Structure 1
Amino acid sequence: MPSGHDTALESLLDAVASAVGDVPALLTLAREAARAWPQPGRGSTAELWELLASVTAVDVAAGRIFEPHLDALAILAQSGRNPGSIEGAWGVFAAEGPGEKLEAKAGDGGILLSGSKPWCSLAPLLDYAVITAHTGTGGRAAFAVDLHHPGVTCEEPAWIARGLQEIPSGTVHFNQVPAGQLGDDGWYFNRPGFAWGGMGVAACWLGGAVAVARDYADALRGASERGREPDQVALAGLGETDRILSSSLQYLARTAALIDDGGLGRGDQPALGGDRHGAANRSGTDHPGTDRSVWSEALRVRGTVAAAVERVLSLVSRNRGPGPLAFDEPYAKRMADLELYVRQHHAQRDDAQLGALTLKGERLW
């Protein structure tokens, strides 16, 4: 008999399935779910990642909607805000773009933001956002911002991608918009929660890949029931898919347990990359296996999961052929959405960060 948790999750996933393509409805579901969902680093990180993966397995775009709202609430809580007092739908806008800069300056009325921020997903439909901006000290800090302020202007992007069509990510312009700072300069990037959030995104990627694998297994089972048994190549593809996903799921579960048990050390990271991929200077360790930072583990997790997702996409697409991509709308949507979503991973640039940390001693071997 299912537990109360299982029943509640099943009910949520049914609601997500019914709301696919309806962004306002999915935002409402995300807000409602957030009241009961755990936050990372507080003893139930594995449960949180399982929830994110499960939603994404239903619909990749839904996971893309849930994850930033949950991450924003976690950031606010880590900064000292009371999660129970937070209202509205939230996003997290931390990307940087060439020729675009958002600056935070102190004025008579407090801190004001002016400039532009790229890659602001769903900004016109959100109420608030956690946004990073450049400060007068030359660093960057995070700020809570009301997106309904008249100084906020959202561009309508020319979104030509076939993936994540309901979640266009455009540039948002700010003109003297009041903002509340969250932590000191550099706090957003150096807190352990920065790495936790990055791994939460990886859990979403993996949930999407699990759904693709289920599509494949169902297709093989259906063909068998119709008298067409899978050949060795098809079975080998399914076997490799199982092996890849099983190892990745176990890796995420182990990492979540380490986070909750305090088995990972510092949250700081190297001065490489942007958004969830580097910001502040740090010193390394000199001895293998000592004082390992949560950021080096986040790079391993994200890279491992991204590679697993890309391999599963390749295996399933190659084995199923063009027919489902052309005529099976849910499958084709899932493939396109996930292929675009996993491109948030910075590939070799993230591996370069991990390589630098490895040379300084942050390794498991």
Structure 2
Amino acid sequence: MTETSVHHDIPADEVSRWPLPGSGRTEARWQGLIDLARADVVTGRLAEAHADACAITHELRADSPRPGQLWGVWAAQPPAPVLRAKPHADIALLSGRKMWCSGAGICTHALVTAETEAGAALFAVDLSDPGVTVVPDTWHGVGMSGSATFTVDFDRVAATPVAAPGDYVARPGFWHGAIGVAACWFGAAEAVADKLVNAPGADPIREAHRGAVDAALYAARCALRCSAAEIDAAPDDMRAARIRARRVRAVVEDAATLTIDRVGRALGAAPLGQDPVHARRVADLTVYLRQSHAEYDLADLGSLVGPR
């Protein structure tokens, strides 16, 4: 894949300067993600990955993104196909296929998980390597189609080790980053809600829907603010980080889902059929929310807060 420049809508260099989780200014980080996703869901989603890459490389003491670069985080681990890493001097060579690669053809670099003899490890990859090939026609959804989420083939691609097997997920920052995704969900949901908030007229049913959306988004905003304060107070508490992320993502996901449903019920099909910006935003957010694993995530939360 040839080297690409940073997507003009993604302020990657600005994002690189955002405060890191636990720095004392985590709420400002969340607000940056909220603002970008509210303006455009795809921009927020790609910026969130770049922001996460900055935090991951900082925490794992690896080389961080440089000016002019846009990084993705390609860490999905489906059973098949498999991307494998073979040691080669002080680097590794990656070969195989990786699914769910958002920003493929847009990002200049990526943090990529690949299988080693000891398990899945994390590597940094320069996507201008000629062994990187984006597989066309591997995303068929209308929602998030602008995110360039494709399958990518690797053929002996040079990769720099960033984290040994298990180390990528065995850190509180993994869970802090999960809340960053929820901040994007929230920003997108606020933008969907604007269609209802700004709708003229004093219809009592419409006002009831508006009130329900306002209450749900208020609760989600409070959860994000509380999470930022808690992270800043105890950034290294692994158990608390995992519980917090599960809780906040559940609250925000519920609020976003309610917002999509209530706005549709209040306004009918017209905005979805006649307003391309709103229709795209609803489609994008609907797909983006499926980064949640729904009841599986709730079951994990239940196991954490149940009897020990």
Kindly indicate whether residue 193 of structure 2 is the aligned counterpart of residue 210 of structure 1. no
Q: CA deviation at 1:79?
A: 1.3
DSSP 3-state at the match of 2:8 = helix
Match of 2:220 in 1: 248
Aligned mate of 1:237, from 200, 203, 209: 209
Question: Is residue 192 from structure 1 mapped to residue 172 from structure 2 by the alignment?
Answer: yes
In the alignment, which of 151, 168, 192 is matched to residue 171 of structure 1?
Answer: 151
Aligned to 1:62: 43
Match of residue 315 from structure 1: 262
Q: 2:162 aligns with which of 176, 179, 182?
A: 182
Report the CA distance between 1:48 and its aligned residue: 0.4
Letter in 1 for 2:8: A
- Taking the aligned partners of 2:106 and 2:281, their CA distance within structure 1 comes to 23
Is 1:25 aligned to residue 8 of structure 2? yes
2:110 maps to a residue whose letter is A
Counterpart for residue 342 of structure 1: 289
- Residues 319-328 or 156-165, more deviating: 156-165
1:350 counterpart SS class: helix
RMSD over aligned CA atoms reads: 1.8
Does the 8 Å CA contact 1:157/1:168 hold for their aligned counterparts? no
Distance 1:62 1:90 in 2: 13
Q: How many residues are aligned here?
A: 303
After TM superposition, list the pairs within 5 Å mapping 1:137-148 onto structure 2. Answer: 137=118, 139-148=119-128
Give me the whole-angstrom Cα distance separating, in 1, the residues matched to 2:299 and 2:87: 36
Residues 136, 106 of structure 1: CA spacing in aligned structure 2 closer, same or farther, 3 A cutoff? Answer: same
TM-score normalised by structure 2 residue count: 0.93
Contact kept? 1:251, 1:301, Cα under 8 Å: yes
Q: Give the Å deviation of 1:35.
A: 4.0
Find 1:357's aligned residue among 289, 304, 307: 304
The gaps in structure 2 that reach 5 residues or longer are 1-5
Report whether the alignment pairs 1:44 with 2:44: no
**Structure 1 gaps, min length 5:** 1-22, 225-229, 267-291
The one-letter code of the counterpart of 1:318 is R
Q: Distance in 2 between the 1:158 and 1:82 partners?
A: 31
Identify the residue that residue 279 of structure 2 maps to in structure 1: 332
1:214-225 equivalences in 2 (<5 Å): 214-219=194-199, 223-224=200-201
Change beyond 3 A, Cα 1:352–1:302: same
**Length-normalised TM-score, structure 1:** 0.79
Does structure 2 conserve the Cα–Cα contact (< 8 Å) formed by 1:120 and 1:170?
A: yes
1:238-296 CA-partner distances (Å, limit 9, x unpaired)? 11111111111011101110001117722xxxxxxxxxxxxxxxxxxxxxxxxx43112
C-alpha contact 2:95 2:156 (8 A) present in aligned 1: yes
Q: Which has the higher contact order (CA 8 A, sep 6+)?
A: 2
Q: Quote the residue 1:79 is aligned against.
A: 60
Structure 1 residue 82 displacement after superposition: 5.5
Tell me if 1:129 matches 2:110: yes
The structure with more radius of gyration: 1
Q: Conserved in 2, the CA contact under 8 Å of 1:90 and 1:130?
A: yes
Partner of 2:97: 116
Q: Which range moved further: 193-202 or 107-116?
A: 107-116
Match of 1:99 in 2: 80
Equivalent position to 2:241, from 280, 289, 294: 294
CA distance in 1, matches of 2:128, 2:117: 25
Shift of residue 97, structure 1, vs aligned partner: 2.4
What SS is found at the alignment partner of 2:105?
helix
Amino acid of the residue matched to residue 194 of structure 2? Answer: R
Deviations 1:82-115 (A, max 9, x none): 5475651110000122421111221246321111
Alignment correspondent of 1:280 = none
**CA distance in structure 2 between the aligned counterparts of 1:336 and 1:203, rounded to whole angstroms:** 18
Summarize deviations over 1:100-157 as a string: whole Å, max 9, x none.
11112212463211111100012112111001111211x2111101111111111013
Q: Distance in 2 between matches of 1:95 and 1:351?
A: 19
Q: Does 2:233 correspond to 1:261?
A: yes
Q: Which runs of 4+ in 1 moved over 3 A?
A: 81-87
In 2, distance between residues paired with 1:360 and 1:190?
A: 23
Higher deviation after alignment, 183-192 or 251-260: 183-192
